[in-house]
Amino acid sequence: MEPQLDYRVEVTDKDGRVIAREEGPSRSYVRQWNELFHVQAAQIYLGGGGTVKDTSGSTCADARISTVTFKSNAGIGETNYGLRVGKGSTPVSINDYAIGNPIAEGTGIDQLEHQLTYFTGPSVVGSTLSFTMQRSMVNHSGATISGIQEIGNYMMFSCGMYTRFALGFRDVLASSFSIPDGGAITVTYTLKVTA
C-alpha cells in the first residue's frame, strides 16, 4: 500500500461552534519533501551539493543532513515553519515552494494568531500506522477574514551553517473559507501508511 496523507479543515465561530468543515485526501507532497528525504538517505554532508528551494524562493545549494530536517512542531506565533493557511488558489505543482498567498501572524487586518503545531504520537490500528499534526489559527483582527483556500506545511532544514524552511506539502481546498472575528480555523493532517 502507498503512504497516505489526508487533511481536515474546521472553522469555528467565537463560541467554538463548527460552522464549516472540509476533509479529504491531500493532493500533494511537493519536491522538497523528496529532496530532503534524499539528503538524509544519502547522508549529504556540508558542501555535498544538496539543492532545496526555501519558502522565500531562494535555492539553497548546500542542503545537508541535520537533526532538524522535517522539523514542523512550531510554537505559538511562529510562522517560519509548521502548518499555514493562505488565500491562494493556484493549483498545486510539484515545483511549489511556498503557500501562494499566506496569512501572516498577528491581529491586524487579514492576520491570524498562530497557535502550536502539535502532533499525536504514532498508533497502529490493524495494518495501518498513523499520526496527526494539527494547528489552530485564531482571528482577532476585528473583522471576518475570507477567502482562505489553501493549506500546507513548512519544515525546517539546514542549509550550510544556516537554518532554512521548505514547503513539504500544499493543498488547495475545494471551498473558500471565511473566519469570523473571534473565530478560528483548525487544520489537521493525518500521515499514514498501510502494510
28 binds another protein (CB under 8 A): yes
Residues 6+ apart with CB under 8 A from 18: 10, 11, 12
Nearer to another protein, 131 or 162 (CB): 131
Q: What does the block give as the cell for 61?
A: 545549494
90: which strand partners? none
Nearer to another protein, 74 or 145 (CB): 74
Mark 142-161 with x for binding to another protein (rule: CB under 8 A) and - for no binding: -------------x------
128: which strand partners? 125, 194
Q: What's the closest the beta carbon of residue 166 comes to another protein, in angstroms?
A: 13
Nearer to another protein, 49 or 142 (CB): 49
User: In whole angstroms, how far apart are CA 131 and each of 71, 172, 181, 191?
Assistant: 15, 22, 31, 6
Q: What's the closest the beta carbon of residue 33 comes to another protein, in angstroms?
A: 6
DSSP string spanning 40-90?
HHTT--TTS-EEEE-TTSPEEEEEE--TTTT-----TT--SSEEEEES--P
Gap between the Cα atoms of 180 and 138, Å rounded: 9
Only one of the segments 11-19, 117-125, 142-150, 177-185 lies at the binding site for another protein (rule: CB under 8 A); that segment is 117-125
Among residues 30, 21, 23, 38, the alpha carbon closest in space to that of 154 is found at 30
Sign of CA dihedral 52, 58, 60, 66: negative
Site residues (CB under 8 A) for another protein, limited to 61-90: 65-73
Only one of the segments 9-17, 55-63, 102-110, 127-135 lies at the binding site for another protein (rule: CB under 8 A); that segment is 127-135
Site residues (CB under 8 A) for another protein, limited to 161-190: none
Single out the residue of 116, 172, 173, 191 in contact with another protein (rule: CB under 8 A).
Answer: 191
Q: What's the closest the beta carbon of residue 121 comes to another protein, in angstroms?
A: 6
Q: What's the closest the beta carbon of residue 86 comes to another protein, in angstroms?
A: 17
